[in-house]
Structure 1
Amino acid sequence: MLKNVMKIAAVGAFALTATATAANAGTTAQPGETAGLAMGAPLPEGVYFVNTLDWGVRKNKGMPDTKLLVDIPVIAWSTPWTLFGGNIQLLAATPMIHADLPGGFDPYGFYNPLLAAKIAFDLGGGFGVSYLSGIYFNAGDRDIRVPATTWRQDFAISYTGDGWNLTANLLWGITFGTSNYAAFNTTSNGFNLDLTATKTFGKWEIGAVGFGSTEYDRPDALKGTPKTKQFAVGPLVGYNFGPVILQAYLTRDVYARGTGGSNNRAKDTRFWSRIIIPLWTPATPAAPLVTKY
């Protein structure tokens, strides 16, 4: 039962959120968006609704604070199909952002929509690995979206035995044709690393998460400015209402460079919440009234 709960919780991997590029340069995928999820584990067949909401404040020393609210409604389908023994999953996300930026700029609207496919393998012994490939399209509200198309790839490994969720997920973003019409919304190529270490106790899940990000290639508009790097950690708690699953975690940057403020080391504090609702799963055959021995 606990193992199945962790596998279902992994569907939250489809909550592929928007990055803080509305506030500063960075990768298209938001650091920490898959923290708390068993990204490497195959999912039970079904259709799921997943919503991830996060709100945070970046303290800019010597400048007004930056505030960012992100909401991500997602429909995910774990198909009955397999490829080379791996479970095939399809997903669609339509993130939304409301930013409160220094200088009184207050943009809000739709972020780049995402379509992706994922294949996940059960290696046995509680271990699983997965690969995700998806596209953030150059669409959405002008003052919110990344003005380019981004190819996202995830490489994950999970251990979900004995009620544990020990997961590392590496996200690689490659942006094509970035426009420089808005310097605050210019996006780089980069890596995110989301980490999870939680344990279930009955219906409760308790543990910790961590995530980091770094840029490795920048658009011309950002040449000569420091590359954005950060790492955050924090506690996570979850509860399985059966079948609905809730998670919440609070994170704080412990390392930040190129993130704004007078010393370009502004740190972010962020609260995250996630709800996972199965919309459809295959009917389980009823147990026979008479069992033959």
Structure 2
Amino acid sequence: MVKNWLAAGAAALSLGFTATASYAQTTTIPGEQVGLAVGAPLPEGVYAINTFTYQRADQPGSSDLGVNIPVLVWSTPWKVLGARIEAVVAPPTLFSFNRSGGRDTSANVGTFIGGIFAWDLGNNVGVSYLAGVYLNELNAGRFGGLQQLASNTYRQGFAISYTGDGWNLTANLTYNFYDVPARFDGPGLVPAFYGTQVPSDALNLDLTATKKFGNFEIGAIGYGTTNLRNRSFFLLSNATLPTGCVGFAPNICGTAGRSGGGRFALGGLIGYDFGKFSVQAYVARDVVTSAQYVTPAGFLRDNYRTEGFFRVIAPLYTVAAAPPPEPAPIIRKY
């Protein structure tokens, strides 16, 4: 059971969003897969995972942010080059909780569909490769300032896990890239106001080091994200970009397509395996960030974030392991 629910996190996928333009432009929320043995292949079956994260920035009056990520994983009976094929679907929901008395908002945006190829290398070591896309279904109309939601987001992931003797030692690298140039669609002023977008590509790193003691789990986590130059931006000449591409806001076109900006957080995790399902909770705090805000007194401060996560993992169906063969009778001949 331990490896089953740890490995079930191979597909705990989400759609994250940023509080200010200073944060890295990642669609995959940083830290969404910490605590999970993302590199380990799943036994054949169907798995449900739900992760909820709540984020609060230091900036007074800013909105708290939440993401709920329900995931369904089918670990198929098929293998390619020794890798088990796992199909994934995840329709995340975004929330914004206004701390200044304004209206709270929510939206279902960017269903993820994809697949995972996971190899068991032996000696409790596994590696995996993930590929998929967040579909730009609603064009982020209610979150119009989030330029990464003006297009589909394409995602790749590379992970390695060690799960021997109750340990979960995992490193997971996630790369996001986008359709370029992209543009908000739909009625109203959103398309005209935000114009053409060239969001920065993004690279996330999730790290886990936890240990099981009976049904309990405890350990440390770390995760971060950084902007990368958009893979297509510097291949586009000014002649190929629409007239309104260069504009009045720092998140329009070329400025957004550049590298730089990011954050990294450290924290702790606890978990418990109930047998039929497992739960995890973890809290983390930024130790470095490029986001800043101006205080009422006019001072510039780093805008650190504190985040809390809660996760439930439940195998819905698993194929029973084949029973060991009965021992052959011993025939003695005298």
Taking structure 2 as the reference length, the TM-score comes to: 0.78
Q: Give 1:1-293 correspondences, 5 Å limit.
A: 4-21=1-18, 24=21, 26-60=25-59, 63-100=60-97, 104=102, 106-140=104-138, 141-144=140-143, 146-177=149-180, 178-179=182-183, 181=191, 187-217=199-229, 221-222=250-251, 223-224=254-255, 227-257=260-290, 259-262=291-294, 263=300, 265-284=302-321, 293=329
Is contact 1:165-1:197 (8 Å) kept? yes
Is contact 1:59-1:66 (8 Å) kept? no
Is contact 1:40-1:128 (8 Å) kept? yes
Is contact 2:47-2:74 (8 Å) kept? yes
Deviations 1:143-193 (A, max 9, x none): 24712111100010111111111010000001113326476x984211000
User: Unpaired runs of 5+ in structure 1?
Assistant: none
> Partner letter of residue 75 of structure 1?
L
Partner Cα separation in structure 2 for residue 279 and residue 165 of structure 1? 22
Deviations 1:216-235 (A, max 9, x none): 12686525579431000100
Partner Cα separation in structure 1 for residue 87 and residue 103 of structure 2? 36
Q: How many residue pairs end up in the alignment? A: 285
Partner Cα separation in structure 2 for residue 187 and residue 278 of structure 1? 37
Please state how far the C-alpha of 1:11 moved relative to its aligned partner: 1.4
- Give the secondary structure class of the aligned counterpart of 2:267: strand
Q: Given the superposition, is the C-alpha separation of residues 128 and 236 from structure 1 closer, same or farther in structure 2, using an over 3 Å criterion?
A: same
Please state how far the C-alpha of 1:20 moved relative to its aligned partner: 2.0
Please state how far the C-alpha of 1:128 moved relative to its aligned partner: 1.0
> Partner letter of residue 85 of structure 2?
I
Please state how far the C-alpha of 1:284 moved relative to its aligned partner: 4.8
Question: 2:188 aligns to what?
Answer: none
Deviations 1:234-282 (A, max 9, x none): 000111101201111001000000x242236311101101101111111
Please state how far the C-alpha of 1:116 moved relative to its aligned partner: 0.8
Deviations 1:183-220 (A, max 9, x none): 6x984211000000001111111101100100012686
Partner Cα separation in structure 1 for residue 271 and residue 132 of structure 2? 28
Is contact 1:21-1:187 (8 Å) kept? no
> Partner letter of residue 73 of structure 1?
P
Is contact 2:5-2:314 (8 Å) kept? no
Partner Cα separation in structure 2 for residue 118 and residue 5 of structure 1? 20
Say which one has the larger Rg.
Answer: 2
Taking structure 1 as the reference length, the TM-score comes to: 0.88
> Partner letter of residue 213 of structure 1?
T
Partner Cα separation in structure 1 for residue 31 and residue 132 of structure 2? 17
> Partner letter of residue 164 of structure 2?
G
The percent identity for this pair of structures is 40
- Give the secondary structure class of the aligned counterpart of 2:52: strand
Partner Cα separation in structure 2 for residue 275 and residue 81 of structure 1? 26
Partner Cα separation in structure 2 for residue 171 and residue 264 of structure 1? 29
CA RMSD of aligned residues (A): 2.6
Partner Cα separation in structure 1 for residue 314 and residue 80 of structure 2? 26
- Give the secondary structure class of the aligned counterpart of 2:183: coil
Partner Cα separation in structure 2 for residue 88 and residue 283 of structure 1? 18
Partner Cα separation in structure 2 for residue 118 and residue 139 of structure 1? 23
- Give the secondary structure class of the aligned counterpart of 1:20: coil
User: Unpaired runs of 5+ in structure 2?
Assistant: 185-190, 234-245, 295-299, 330-334
